[in-house]
Copies of this chain bind each other. A is one copy, B any other.
Amino acid sequence: MGILSIDFGGTQTRAAWFDMQLNMLARVDCATRREEGLDSVIERIITLAREVVPEQNGGIDAIGICAPGPQAYTGLILNAATLPDWDNVPLAERIAQAFNGVPVYMENDANLGALAEYHRGAAQGADPALYLTVSTGIGGGAVINGQLFTGWRGLAIEPGHMKFRHADGRFYSLEALASGTGIGRLAQARLATDDTPSSLRGLTVMDGRMVGEAAAQGDALALAVITEAGEWLGWGLLSLVHLFNPRVIVIGGSVALLGNLIFDPVRRILAENVIDPLFLPADLIRPARLGDDVCLIGAAMHAQTKLDMLV
């Protein structure tokens, strides 16, 4: 008796075994190595998953899969930013075949992150709870009345695709302004127009981590870039706050690891622009608590909830 949980990402793949009280009893991971091609990657997922299922047990009750792409709930991988060449791949079906037709429930990584942080992490007891993961891209999920909110076609909570006009006159998605990728782009734009000395000058590749490290060492240009990205994230959260009136917004992903460098400008934009301070409880914005296991936990919870609905 237990739930097999699989977290399939563009870079890393993880599998874990949970008992029916959702205690994680075993956990393994490996690199996804997507460059080896679809069939090889799916075989590797299945091999990894088998490692974690105990030999002596009452069988697998259900399999939860965390996968990228807004339509992961269909069991298909498509439109996943981190897997651009995976087009309509029936991952859930392939996994179900490998495990003799055990029920498989697949969902989007950010949705499962919201579910896990709501039940076990930084958003416990907070409803509505919003979850943003800000790293290479920006994803999101929401729990409303204790349930995952996914909208009409499962596409809801894509905060990275709100658009704002930049000072350069063009409109950009929030993802292009405040994700790790966006931070790298903002830094390159600023280096081209601002001659402040900076340790970033001359680098050919630039991402949020590199800019964040320079900012943490006091590099003035890098600090200005992180502040700008934080302000953009603040304008995005201002919309979320006025639309959802959430009790909590949990922020995970690598950009959240920048801490107050990014959270201070977020909080300043919110405080200066909110229509009523009632929208902003002191602990509204919280860093994610579940770390790398967030999706494994969320996928196991999701599978268990779906099983319970069958009974």
Contacts and interface: CB of A to CB of B under 8 A. Distances in A.
Contact of A242 (B127, B147, B159, B247): B159
Contacts of A150: 245
Contacts of A244: 151, 156, 243
Given A128-B151, A235-B171, A275 B161 contact: yes
Question: Which residue of A147, A242, A244, A279 has the most chain B CB atoms within 10 A of its CB atom?
Answer: A242
Interface residues of A, number: 46
Interface in A94-137: 127-128
A158 interface: yes
Interface stretch (A13-21, A47-55, A162-170): A162-170
Number of copies: 2
A266 to B, nearest CB: 14
Nearest to A126: B152
Contacts of A164: 164-165
Contact of A158 (B71, B144, B156, B243): B243
A157 B235 contact: no
A169 B171 contact: no
A311 interface: no
Contacts of A154: 245
Interface of A: 70-71, 79, 127-128, 140, 144-145, 147, 149-159, 161-167, 169, 171, 173, 235, 238-240, 242-247, 273-276, 278-279
12 contacts: A71-B278, A152-B246, A153-B279, A155-B279, A156-B243, A157-B243, A158-B243, A163-B235, A165-B166, A171-B235, A239-B243, A243-B243
